[in-house]
Amino acid sequence: MSDRHALEPTGALSVETVTRVHHWNEHLFSFSITRPASFRFRSGEFVMLGLPDGQRPLLRAYSIASPSYDETLEFLSIKVPEGPLTSRLQGIQEGDAVFLGRKPTGTLVTDALLPGRRLFLLATGTGLAPFMSLIRDPDLYEQFAQIVIVHSVRRVSDLAYRDVLEGQLAGDPLVQDQALLQLHYVPTVTREPFHTTARIGTLFEDGTLFKAPITGPLALDPAQDRIMLCGSMAMIKEQAAMLDALGFKEGSNAAPGDYVIERAFVG
């Protein structure tokens, strides 16, 4: 794969080394890279990542899945056979070199939300990545009494990080105690048998997302509920329309609101 010496850093890109690769199934993998000492980001942000393509780097936006204090940067990616970048990226190995953008950004951050009591993190597919960063941030548990992470996928094997989430981050050095009490994981699989098979919208409608151990109103309440959306455009459009109809206001870094989506890309 990438010869580190063949990649040259630029003003916008550093050159980093792959430290770990994990293939969840034939469609999904995660990988970690070295982190520059000067690299700072807020939990939930994304960054440009890529490989050389002739004379120019081929870049794509990737949400950072690791917490902001981690020594490495972790990413979750689908494998697209014909994808210009992912068709090559899925073949990376430890020791390979990749380009990393120097300026992370994004709206899936708590700064873009008004204070609230419950936080619903709604993800399809690789849209889970920014939420894996957020839920390992101690600040999140100070800001919200309950965090509900919903992950909708087509197949059971697509439930990346399932063991970690089902264990409520047991063993995490910074948040395991808070997560045990405040973090709730709701996986749903739409195309294979599983204990939950409904789409995200249905989980709200039938009350699944308000059942014990989750406490509070049995419906979404703009006064205390906050929502983050990341994943397929269809899910984002559907849920954003529902939230708008309920009186929720979309937030941004400049004007915090009741819910946020990442408009820069669809994971």
Instruction: From residue 243, give the alpha-carbon distance in Å to each of 59, 168, 219, 225, 226.
Output: 33, 27, 12, 11, 10
pLDDT at 263: 77
pLDDT at 265: 57
pLDDT at 262: 87
Tokens of 144: 């919200």
Name the phi and psi angles at 131, rounded to 5: -75, -30
pLDDT at 101: 98
81 vs 209, higher pLDDT = 209
143-201 pLDDT tens trace: 999 999 999 999 999 999 999 999 999 999 999 999 999 999 999 999 999 999 999 99
d(CA 165, CA 266): 23
Q: What is the mean pLDDT of residues 14-33?
A: 97
d(CA 97, CA 5): 8
Return the number of other C-beta atoms located less than 10 Å from residue 87's C-beta: 12
Continuous segment of H or E residues that includes residue 192 = none
d(CA 8, CA 258): 42
Beta strands across the sheet bearing 118-124 = 183-189, 146-153, 118-124, 225-230, 259-261
| Residue among 144, 149, 88 nearest 123 (CA) | 149
Name the residue type at position 56: R
Contact 258, 112 (CB under 8 A): no
pLDDT at 140: 97
Contact 179, 67 (CB under 8 A): no
pLDDT at 266: 44
Of the chain, the percentage scoring pLDDT greater than 70 comes to 97
Continuous segment of H or E residues that includes residue 202 = helix 200-205
Name the residue type at position 264: A
